[in-house]
């Protein structure tokens, strides 16, 4: 079984090791961002469904306005939280991509 730090049984051609590793870092970051935003979308759809059900049961305009403003506050808080997580992930990605590649192993002396 290969781990992230295990050497590849198929060595990269000369000069391609660092770009492939950085592509892997970017791929993992994109996957994490996708999962975060998909989770946020699911939460948003659940909230919209619950809010629509509550709005359907309203009997006066004051209730409608209260429910709508509560929904908008929750949606804004959710967007703010996801934006913070996204900014943190992008900052971590930039730090990983800008980190200098490790020095190649020294050739054994003959």
**DSSP of 7-72:** PPSSPPPTT-HHHHHHHHHHHHHHHHHHHHHHHHHHHHHHHHHHHHHHHHT--SHHHHHHHHHHHH
Per the document, the length of the chain is 110
What mean pLDDT is predicted for residues 45-63?
A: 94
- What mean pLDDT is reported for the chain? 82
Q: Is residue 3 part of a domain?
A: no
Domain range for 78 is: 19-96
Would you state the pLDDT for residue 51? 95
Q: For the chain, what is the radius of gyration of the CA atoms?
A: 24
Written as six digits, the tokens of 92 are 């971590």
Predicted pLDDT of residue 65: 95
Distance from C-alpha of 79 to C-alpha of 29, rounded to nearest angstrom: 19
Per-residue model confidence (pLDDT) at position 28: 84
In a domain, 12, yes or no: no
Residue 11 included in any domain: no
Count up the domains in the chain and report the number.
1
Torsion of CA 75, 88, 23, 39, to 10 degrees: -30
pLDDT (0 to 100) of residue 2:
47
Q: Is there a domain that residue 2 lies in?
A: no
> Is 37 within a domain?
yes
The reply to whether 74 falls in a domain is yes
> Quick one: pLDDT at residue 6?
63
Q: Are 82 and 40 in contact (CB under 8 A)?
A: yes
Tens digit of each residue's pLDDT (9 = 90 or more) over 2-37 = 455 666 666 656 666 667 777 777 888 888 888 988
Rounded Cα distance between 74 and 78, Å, is: 6
Q: What is the pLDDT of residue 55?
A: 92
């Amino acid at each position: 079984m290969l781990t992230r730090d295990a050497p590849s049984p198929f060595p990269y051609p000369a000069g391609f090791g660092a770009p492939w590793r950085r592509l892997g870092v970017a791929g993992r970051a994109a996957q994490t961002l996708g999962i975060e935003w998909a989770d946020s979308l699911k939460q948003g759809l659940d909230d919209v469904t619950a809010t629509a059900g509550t709005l359907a049961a309203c009997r006066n305009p004051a209730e409608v306005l209260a429910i709508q403003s509560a929904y908008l506050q929750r949606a804004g808080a959710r967007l703010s939280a996801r934006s913070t997580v996204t900014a943190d992930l992008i900052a971590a990605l930039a730090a990983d991509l800008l980190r200098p590649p490790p020095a190649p192993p020294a050739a054994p002396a003959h």
